[in-house]
Structure 1
């Protein structure tokens, strides 16, 4: 996907991209790097900037649950994020020699990838 033309890149002080802000009606909607809206309704510009600055990029290092083609859930980590798609790999618990499956999911993210704590079913891992 290409970004909507209305999305304005927001960078923190060190110039790291932390999300986008989209004008909507008489406010603004902040989007994170996964393309998720971060407020339920538009907020003012300053609030959108502050939210993205506070959010940062740390959530990209969290553990996620990925729904596979057969409907099961696996532990996963994000390895790449761009408007062209999101790269995800099976969580290998830091074993650099492990052969793990990798996946591409769409941007903006859909319900195939959720924070581990929000997985709607059991999550498996070959490494536990």
Structure 2
């Protein structure tokens, strides 16, 4: 799915997109959306949406996730898809399988804690 035109990117200070803000979803509230396209709780204004996205940041991209019963980690994130791998370390011999997931990921990935 291409990014909806109404999603306004929010960038951190180095220019990296950390998510989007959707102003049209729940007027008068604002919907922050994380880098995987997952909606966060509604907030009251633009500033609160920016704070929510900054608080989450991109750190979760380093987490391990469950994908169809397999432990995976995110290898690449693009605006229209992402690539996950079963190689859960950066070791040379840990090659793993790769899967391409459509964006937004919805509930396909469940973060492991």
* TM-score, normalising length: structure 1: 0.80
Query: Structure 2 matches for 1:1-128, cutoff 5 A?
Result: 1-24=1-24, 25-39=27-41, 41-67=42-68, 73-117=69-113
Larger CA Rg, structure 1 vs 2: 1
How far is 1:92 from its partner?
3.4
Q: In structure 1, the residue corresponding to 2:50 is in which secondary structure?
A: helix
Structure 2 unaligned segments of length 5 or more: list them: none
**Which aligned segments of 4 or more residues in structure 1 are displaced greater than 6 angstroms?**
none
Aligned length: 111
Task: Provide, for residues 47-85 of structure 1, a one-character-per-residue CA deviation record: whole Å limited to 9, x for no partner.
Answer: 000111121101000011111xxxxx0110001112221
SS of equivalent to 2:83: strand
Uncovered stretches (5+) of structure 1, i.e. residues with no partner: 68-72, 118-128
CA contact (8 A) 1:88 1:102 kept: yes
Change (3 A) 1:114 1:56: same
Q: Does the 8 Å CA contact 2:86/2:96 hold for their aligned counterparts?
A: yes
TM-score scaled by structure 2? Answer: 0.90
Aligned alpha-carbon RMSD (Å): 1.4
For 1:37 and 1:62, the matched residues in 2 are separated by 18
